[in-house]
Structure 1
Amino acid sequence: MAEDRSEQEPARRPGGRTARVRHRILEAAAELIARDGIGGLRYDQVAELAEVNKTSVYRNWPDRTALVADALATFSADVAPLRDSGDIDADLVDFLEAIAAALSSRQGRALLNVVGAAHDNPDLRAVVDDAIAQRLATLSQRIKAAIETGELPAVDSHLLVEMLSGPVHLLVSRGTRELTRADAQRITSIVLAGVRATAAQHTIALAGEHDGGKTPAARP
């Protein structure tokens, strides 16, 4: 194929047709992983779907784990934007909706399929962990900024990220229905209410220690 012959041209032409061939291969791999899981990923099917010669797939990705990692790279890189409106609650609701949409995409479905196959494969586990960590990095940064400005009390940002994103991953992975904005609002309000209540109780407890127990304890 003309597209495949272009891969044999000198390296002086970065990108171009060679880059488009690689992109088609990665798109095809992500689609097949999303459809059939990691166990059903076959190079001949990747080549057929990408409309390239099978040797192009083997030449670029002799290791299947590397192909899986690169196929999911766009999911990691295409981080959902997280605005800072000054209202952390509203910003988190928007972000959870964006995360749900991303997980429902081809790369997102592929990632969820890889998660199930990664338990006994350290290389795949690393791929999954990296994809999720990059996707949630901006959320962690926004939470840290909210703590600095007083929008949120001091809290373990990584734990809060897991508490917020966990229900979203669970709902999307089940595939029974789409996550709605009302879902995102409930998740956010419940988690942040717990964070703020816990911080308030901790503050009262510390005040009681400092004044010899004269400060009334917080009611449950």
Structure 2
Amino acid sequence: MAGAPNLHQRIREEIEARILSGEWPPGTRIPVEHELVAQYGCSRMTVSKALSALVASGLILRRRRAGSVVAAPTQPRAVLEIPDFAQEAARAGVSYRFEILHRAVERLGPAGARRIALPADHEMLSVATVHIYDSVPVAHERRLINLAAVPAVLNEAFDRIPPGSWLLDRVPWSGAEHAIRAINADAEQARRLAIAPGAACLLVERRTWQAGNFITEARTLYPGDRQYLVGRFSPPEGHHDPRSR
């Protein structure tokens, strides 16, 4: 069987691509071993090796009698955690809703391409959202989603769940980057957030990747008096500073 030593890797990569793209969301049944054996014309051992690798990476679960299914994403713990807006509102005992202000497929311009290290003219889904607690706008979010990495997002209307929550529920990420800076709201931002033009705001830029593939960038603007962020961290392993005693 030509190429058999690498066939398990091909099987793994093709299943992995369907999971990471959102084509197979959590709970989707993976074809059983004999189906994959027939599909790829290989031995059961080759298929088992591919599935075991996917289990080890946390992408699928093997269940007795039910077979293998796509696992729900387990998110890595970031030093700075950005709370889910709906969950945060529930904890605070306030109502939550969101409004989609803009949704369109757009091509990256030169500045965006440099910022996220993708080619200019690369197709992205651009979504603008305002998040509202009770009747108060608490954040204005502009998000870019890489359509090459998450093509299933094109079919999502975001009528019941905002883009960030949709991604967290369906697409695991392995790396993230945060940048935080203070800015003054321009006229458009002030209108969306119901604040005065020039008011102090906090801009949080977050980019996430999965296995080196860019997934999304969110640029979230908070009125300065409506948000605070906390980061928790520890010194490097083995580091002991006498000043901390």
Structure 1 length-normalised TM: 0.34
Structure 2 length-normalised TM: 0.31
Which one has a larger percent helix, Structure 1 or Structure 2? 1
Which one has a larger percent strand, Structure 1 or Structure 2? 2
